[in-house]
Amino acid sequence: MGPIGEDELFFLMQGLKWTVLLAIVGFIGGGIFGILIALLRTSKKKVTRTITAGYIGIFQGTPLLMQLFVVYYGVALLGVEVNAWIAVAIAFTLHASAFLGEIWRGSIEAVPKGQTEAANALGLHYGSRMKDVILPQALKISLPATIGFLVQLIKGTSLAALVGFIELTRVGQIISNQTYRPLLVFGIVGAIYFIICWPLSHVGSGLEKRMAKAAR
Q: What are phi and psi of 180, to 5 degrees?
A: 60, 35
CATH number of 183's domain = 1.10.3720.10
State how many domains the chain has.
Answer: 1
Domain that holds residue 16: 6-215
For residue 174, being part of any structural domain is answered with: yes
pLDDT at 3: 72
Residue 147 domain flag? yes
pLDDT for residue 15: 96
> Is 163 a member of any domain?
yes
**Residue 117, domain member (yes or no):** yes
Smallest CA-to-CA distance from 146 within 194, 110, 97, 216 is with 97
pLDDT along the chain (216 residues), means of 10: 82 96 97 96 93 96 95 83 89 98 95 83 82 90 96 96 92 93 95 97 90 72
Tell me, yes or no, whether 183 lies in a domain: yes
pLDDT at 216: 62
Given a contact cutoff of 8 angstroms between Cβ atoms, the answer to whether 17 and 83 are in contact is no
Does residue 31 lie in a domain region? Answer: yes
pLDDT score of 52: 97
**Is residue 1 in a domain?**
no
Q: What is the pLDDT of residue 70?
A: 93
> What's the pLDDT score for residue 14?
96
CB 161 within 8 A of CB 170: yes
Residue 127 covered by a domain: yes
Write the CA distances from 22 to 64, 80, 153, 169, integer angstroms: 14, 21, 9, 13
